[in-house]
C-alpha cells in the first residue's frame, strides 16, 4: 500500500491487529451497541474460485499464493472499509460444470460478498451465467475475450488483467516487422486458444502477413510430435501458446522436431509458465521471443512496485520461489489476482460497501473506475479500465531469451492494445 505522499505505508499487520484488539472493550457496551458493532465488523468474504486440480493446477497454486499475499497486505493496512478480508477457497477442478457449482456455493452456502479469481476461459464461460443469475459480483482473472465481447453479463468483470484480443493486437506488428509474415499457429483447442486463433489471424493480416496453418491441440494432450509435421515448409514464424501440465514436453518436442534449422519462434509464455528456463532440452529457445504479461525476471529498470510485490509474494529475481530455485512462478499471469483485489478494495470503498445489499453499488463503483496508475496496487504497469466493457487495458511485454533468461526488448503502449467497444454492460439491469 502507499500513503497520500506515494511512500509505502508504515501500517503493519501487528498494528492493525492491535487496533482490532482495542475493540475488545466493546464487551461492556449495551447489547444493541455490541450487535451493531458485530454487524459492521463482520469480515468481507471473498469466494476464491481456484484451480487446485485439473489442467490449471500450476496456475492455481500461484494464484492462491498471490491472493494470500495481497489479502495479508490489505488486512495489515486496515482491511476494506475497516473490515478484515476473509478468503473462502473452493477448487473447481478447472472444470466448467464444477465452476458453476462453486459459484453457487459462494452465494448460497458461504454467504460470500463476491466471487473472484477464475483463470481458464472455459471455466469462466461455464460459471459466469450462474453468477449473473445469483447477482454475485464475479471478478475473473482470465485473459479471455469473453468478458469484453459481450458474451457474459453485468455481474462479471475483468479489471486486473488484459485480454487476448488486446495482447495479440499489440504483438502482431512486432512479429510481422521483425520475425516474418508467414505464420503457423499452434494453440490449445478451447476458448482461450480460439481467441488466439481468431484475433491473431486478423491482426497479422492487418500487418500484411498471413497465417498459413492453424494447429489446434487438445489441452489435455501429453505428446505432441504427431502435430508438428502439419507445419508447412513455407512457415517463417511458429507462433505457439500451450497450457496445462505437459507444457515442458510440448516445448522440448518442438525443439527436437526442428533441430538446428528452426524458423523464427514467437511464443506466449503460457507455453513455459511454471517451467524452469534452464530445463534440459530448452537450449534451442535461445534467441526466440515470448509475450509476457509481467516479466518473470527482474529487469535492469525494475520498479519499486515490482520489488515490493515480488517480496510480498515470495518470488526471487529469477521468478522462482524464494528458497527453491526450481519452483517457478506463473509470474506472467498471477499479478492479476493482486491487482484485481485492489480494484475490489477501491470499488468497495467508493461504494461504501456494507454487505450483499450493496452489490449493485459495487458494480457501478467499479464501472466508474478509469485510470489505474503504476503503483504498489498495480505493479505490472499503468492501466485503463473500460467500465462499459468491464475490461482493463495495459502494457504488454515482449522478451527475448538471452543467455537463458527472458530480457524485455519491447513494451507496448496501452493505445497499442485498444479496440472498439463490442458491448456496453452498463445498459443492462442490475
For residue 92, pLDDT over 80 is answered with yes
Sheet holding 114-116, edge to edge: 85-91, 44-50, 114-116, 138-139, 156-157
pLDDT single digits (tens) 113-126? 999 999 999 999 99
pTM: 0.89
Mean pLDDT of 47-62: 97
For residue 30, pLDDT over 70 is answered with no
Q: Report the pLDDT value the prediction gives residue 161, as an integer from 0 to 100.
A: 98
Q: Report the pLDDT value the prediction gives residue 29, as an integer from 0 to 100.
A: 44
For residue 2, pLDDT over 70 is answered with no
Share of the chain above pLDDT 70, in %: 91
Alpha carbon 67 to its chain centroid, in Å, reads: 11
* Distance between CA atoms of residues 307 and 295, nearest Å: 12
- Total number of residues shown for the chain: 430
Q: Which residues pair with 187 in a beta bridge?
A: 216
Half-sphere exposure of 4 (CA within 13 A, CB side): 0
* Distance between CA atoms of residues 169 and 90, nearest Å: 34
Mean pLDDT of 91-96: 98
Closest CA to 23 of 78, 87, 85: 78
- The count of other CB atoms within 10 Å of the CB of residue 191 is 21
Cell of 208: 500484411
* Distance between CA atoms of residues 304 and 310, nearest Å: 10
Q: Report the pLDDT value the prediction gives residue 279, as an integer from 0 to 100.
A: 93
Mean pLDDT of 345-369: 98
Q: Which residues pair with 188 in a beta bridge?
A: 217
Structural domains of the chain in order of their starting residue, each with its CATH number: 13-162+333-394+420-427 (3.40.50.2300), 164-292 (3.40.50.2300)
Helix, strand, coil content of the chain in percent (nearest 5):
40, 20, 40
Closest CA to 232 of 188, 263, 195, 266: 263
Closest CA to 398 of 265, 284, 308: 265
Who has greater pLDDT, 296 or 16?
Answer: 296
* Distance between CA atoms of residues 71 and 190, nearest Å: 32
Q: Mapping DSSP to helix (H, G, I), strand (E, B) and coil, where does residue 145 land?
A: coil
* Distance between CA atoms of residues 69 and 230, nearest Å: 44
Mean pLDDT of the chain: 92
* Rg of the chain (C-alpha set): 22
pLDDT single digits (tens) 129-141? 999 999 999 999 9
Mean pLDDT of 197-208: 97
For residue 26, pLDDT over 50 is answered with no
* Distance between CA atoms of residues 129 and 144, nearest Å: 16
Mean pLDDT of 82-93: 98
pLDDT single digits (tens) 225-274? 999 999 999 999 999 999 988 999 999 999 999 998 999 999 999 999 99
Tell me which H or E stretch contains 407. strand 405-411
Cell 512462478 maps to which residue? 329
pLDDT single digits (tens) 264-315? 999 999 999 999 999 999 999 999 999 999 999 999 999 999 999 999 999 9
Alpha carbon 50 to its chain centroid, in Å, reads: 12
* Distance between CA atoms of residues 415 and 143, nearest Å: 18
pLDDT single digits (tens) 37-53? 444 689 999 999 999 99
For residue 89, pLDDT over 60 is answered with yes
- Strands of 7-84 (E only): list them: 44-50
Q: Which of 21-30, 105-114, 154-163 has the lowest mean pLDDT?
A: 21-30
Q: Mapping DSSP to helix (H, G, I), strand (E, B) and coil, where does residue 254 land?
A: helix
For residue 11, pLDDT over 60 is answered with no
Cβ burial, residue 419 (10 Å; 0-12/13-18/19+): middle
Q: Mapping DSSP to helix (H, G, I), strand (E, B) and coil, where does residue 30 land?
A: coil
Cβ burial, residue 343 (10 Å; 0-12/13-18/19+): buried
Asked if 198 and 147 count as a contact pair (C-beta separation under 8 A), the reply is no
Q: Report the pLDDT value the prediction gives residue 25, as an integer from 0 to 100.
A: 40
Amino acid at each position: 500500500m502507499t500513503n497520500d505522499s506515494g511512500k509505502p505505508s508504515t501500517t503493519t499487520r501487528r498494528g492493525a491487529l492491535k487496533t482490532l484488539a482495542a475493540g475488545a472493550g466493546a464487551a461492556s457496551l449495551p447489547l444493541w451497541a455490541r450487535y451493531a458493532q458485530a454487524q459492521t465488523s463482520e469480515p468481507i468474504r471473498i469466494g476464491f474460485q481456484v484451480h487446485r486440480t485439473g489442467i490449471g493446477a500450476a496456475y492455481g497454486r500461484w494464484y492462491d499464493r498471490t491472493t494470500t499475499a495481497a489479502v495479508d497486505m490489505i488486512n495489515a493496512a486496515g482491511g476494506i472499509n475497516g473490515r478484515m478480508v476473509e478468503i473462502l477457497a473452493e477448487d473447481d477442478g478447472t472444470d466448467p460444470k464444477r465452476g458453476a457449482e462453486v459459484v453457487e456455493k459462494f452465494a448460497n452456502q458461504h454467504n460470500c460478498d463476491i466471487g473472484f479469481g477464475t483463470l481458464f476461459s472455459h471455466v469462466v464461460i461455464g460459471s459466469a451465467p450462474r453468477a449473473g443469475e445469483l447477482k454475485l459480483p464475479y471478478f475473473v482473472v482470465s485473459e479471455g475475450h469473453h468478458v469484453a465481447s459481450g458474451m457474459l453479463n453485468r455481474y462479471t468483470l475483468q479489471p486486473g488483467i488484459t485480454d487476448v484480443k488486446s495482447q495479440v493486437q499489440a504483438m502482431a506488428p512486432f512479429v510481422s516487422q521483425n520475425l516474418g509474415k508467414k505464420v503457423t499457429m499452434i494453440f490449445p483447442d478451447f476458448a482461450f486458444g480460439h481467441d488466439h486463433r481468431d484475433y491473431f489471424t486478423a491482426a497479422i493480416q492487418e500487418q500484411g502477413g498471413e497465417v498459413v496453418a492453424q494447429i489446434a491441440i487438445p489441452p489435455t494432450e501429453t505428446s505432441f510430435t504427431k502435430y508438428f509435421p502439419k507445419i508447412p515448409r513455407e512457415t517463417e514464424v511458429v507462433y505457439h501458446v500451450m497450457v496445462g501440465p505437459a507444457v515442458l514436453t510440448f516445448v522440448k518436442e518442438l525443439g527436437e522436431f526442428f533441430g538446428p534449422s528452426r524458423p523464427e519462434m514467437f511464443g506466449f509464455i503460457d507455453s513455459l509458465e511454471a517451467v524452469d528456463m534452464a530445463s534440459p532440452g530448452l537450449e534451442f529457445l535461445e534467441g526466440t521471443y515470448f509475450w509476457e504479461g509481467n516479466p518473470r525476471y527482474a529487469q535492469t529498470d525494475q520498479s519499486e512496485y515490482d520489488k515490493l510485490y515480488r517480496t510480498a509474494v515470495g518470488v526471487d529475481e529469477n521468478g522462482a520461489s524464494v528458497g527453491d530455485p526450481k519452483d517457478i512462478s506463473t509470474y506472467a499471469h498471477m499479478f492479476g489476482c493482486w491487482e484485481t483485489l485492489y480494484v475490489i478494495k477501491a470499488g468497495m470503498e467508493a461504494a461504501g460497501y456494507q454487505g450483499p445489499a450493496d452489490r449493485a453499488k459495487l458494480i457501478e463503483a467499479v464501472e466508474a473506475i478509469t485510470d489505474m496508475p503504476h503503483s504498489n496496487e498495480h505493479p505490472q504497469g499503468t492501466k485503463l479500465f473500460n467500465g462499459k466493457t468491464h475490461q482493463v487495458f495495459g502494457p504488454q511485454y515482449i522478451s527475448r531469451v538471452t543467455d537463458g533468461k527472458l530480457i524485455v526488448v519491447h513494451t507496448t503502449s496501452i493505445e497499442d492494445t485498444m479496440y472498439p467497444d463490442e458491448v456496453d454492460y452498463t445498459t443492462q439491469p442490475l
